[in-house]
Structures are given as C-alpha cells and as structure tokens.
C-alpha cells in the first residue's frame, strides 16, 4: 500500500515517481508493462491528477516510460543496440556502414548535403581557420528504409585539405570516405576521437528519432597529417544513445 509522507522534504510527485521507479528497476513492472492510469494513481495516493501526471512526467523525461495517448503509460523496452567499432565509420579497410545494414537485412538510406558554411568555433579552432570562416561541409544523414534514423555525420574540411584531394570532396568521396582519398594521395594519417554526450536539441530529436529522456552520443573525429601535424578534416558524428554503443579496442 503506497502512501505519501506529507511532512517530507521530498515533494509528493517525487515520492510517487520514486515508488514507480523502484517498481520498474526491481522488475516488478517489467518492460512493456502498463502503469496505473494517472487517475488511478491520483486516487491511490490521495493527490490531484496533475500531481500524478508530474510523477509520470518525471519518469518519461528520464527515459524510463513511454506514455501513449489514449492507451496508457508503458515501461520502456530497450531497443536493440548497435555496437559500433572504432573505425566502422571512416576507414577504408572496413565494409562499414553498408555491410552493417546488409547483415541486418536492411536497406541503407543516405542523404548527403554539401554546403559552404562557418563551422562551430571549436571546430574552426581545430581546423586552424578564423571563427566565422566558411569551409566545405558535408552533411550525411544515415538511416534505414523502414526504420529509425541511425546517425548523422558532419565533415568539415580545411581549405588546404580540400586542395590536396581536389574535387573528390565536392562529390561523393568514394569508398572509405575522405580519409581513404587522403591515404590514396600518400598521406599518413593520425586520428583521435573525442567522445561526449548531451541532451539533443529539438531538431536533433526529430532528425534522429530520439525519444524524451534519451541523450545523444557525439564523436568528434580529428584527422591530422602525421608528418606536418596539420588537421585535414574534422568529423562530427551524432547518435541516439539508446540504440548505439561505441567500442574502442585498446
């Protein structure tokens, strides 16, 4: 019999959320299970419906439950996780993105956009250009024909980097991507990944099919010429954190 301590510092809606969360994490409410309706919760705990709603909202925004209009609130089921290896995304010696999808019996769906625009200040610094300077930018949105979006890749090229591989960068960079083209041209590359996470912006929420309470993983991949130390390109990858993990062999 759940109840609320009105004298507690913890507000009622949090106490209700705590109880529901504990039931979910203990397995008492397994993935896919239906929570009591907000009106039932309200009566059960002796609060207004708005308060019960806030409790459910708390769990929704933490990614634990998924409300469905007209049906009820259900415990989230974890979607299948893609475990992405270090060099799956750019290196030529991998079948890469497409092979990954073929294995799953899916058809790839890639849209590429080429623009000139000024990169974020942090990227401009890495590229060695003045903030606000437009550079060549390739946006690639990766998805499946009948499924959720997979990831979004933005590649920023330095002017000098573009010159070195000529027009290939303007169009499709070919198998292995830009890096393979740099290697074709005889450069020895050094790469590093900067991995971070944050909450998505609204446009990322729609572009990457991200549910509330799910962060995005971001990878900033920096490619430099090992002999000169020049940065050749910077690639920014964004993925939904509930469907993707990154694997780095050491």
Partner DNA sequence: TAGTGGTCTAGACCACAGC
Partner DNA sequence: CTGTGGTCTAGACCACTAT
Q: How many chain residues interact with a second copy (CB under 8 A)?
A: 35
Closest by Cα among 178, 167, 111, 107 to 139: 111
Q: How far is residue 106's CA from residue 100's CA, in Å, rounded to a whole number?
A: 9
66 touches a second copy (CB under 8 A) = no
Interaction between residue 242 and a second copy (CB under 8 A) = yes
Binding range to a second copy, per CB under 8 A, among 80-88, 94-102, 151-159, 167-175:
80-88
Stretch that binds a second copy, among 68-76, 126-134, 138-146, 197-205 (CB under 8 A): 197-205
20: tokens are 């529901």
CA 247 to chain centre: 15
Measured distance CA(160)–CA(233) in Å, rounded: 10
For every residue of 64-96, DSSP letters joined together read SEEEETTTEEEEPPPPPPEEEETTTTT-TTS-H
Nearer to a second copy, 130 or 171 (CB): 130
CB 81 → a second copy: shortest distance, Å? 8
Decide which of DNA, a second copy, none touches 198; Cβ closer than 5 to 8 Å per partner kind. Answer: a second copy
Question: Where does this chain bind a second copy (CB under 8 A)?
Answer: 18, 21, 25, 61-63, 83, 86-87, 190-199, 201-202, 213-217, 241-242, 244-250
């Amino acid at each position: 019999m759940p109840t609320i301590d009105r004298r507690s510092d913890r507000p009622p809606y949090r106490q209700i959320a705590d109880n529901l969360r504990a039931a979910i994490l203990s397995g008492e409410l397994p993935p896919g299970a239906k929570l009591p309706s907000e009106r039932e919760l309200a009566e059960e705990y002796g609060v207004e419906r708005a308060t019960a709603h806030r409790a459910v909202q708390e769990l929704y925004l933490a990614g634990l439950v998924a409300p469905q209009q007209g049906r009820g609130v259900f415990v989230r089921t974890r979607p299948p996780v893609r475990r992405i290896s270090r060099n799956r995304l750019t290196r030529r010696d991998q079948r890469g993105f497409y092979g990954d999808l073929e294995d799953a019996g899916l058809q790839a769906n890639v849209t590429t956009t080429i623009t000139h625009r000024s990169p974020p200040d942090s990227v401009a610094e890495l590229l060695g250009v003045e903030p606000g300077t437009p550079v060549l930018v390739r946006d690639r949105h990766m998805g499946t024909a009948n499924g959720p979006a997979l990831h979004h890749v933005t590649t920023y090229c330095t002017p000098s980097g573009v010159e070195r591989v000529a027009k290939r960068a303007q169009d499709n960079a070919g198998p292995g991507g830009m890096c393979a083209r740099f290697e074709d041209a005889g450069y020895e590359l050094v790469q590093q990944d900067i991995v971070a996470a944050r909450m998505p912006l609204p446009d990322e929420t729609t572009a990457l099919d991200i549910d509330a309470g799910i962060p995005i993983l971001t990878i900033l991949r920096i490619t430099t010429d090992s002999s000169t130390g020049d940065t050749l390109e910077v690639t920014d990858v964004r993925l939904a954190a509930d469907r993707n993990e990154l694997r780095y062999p050491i």
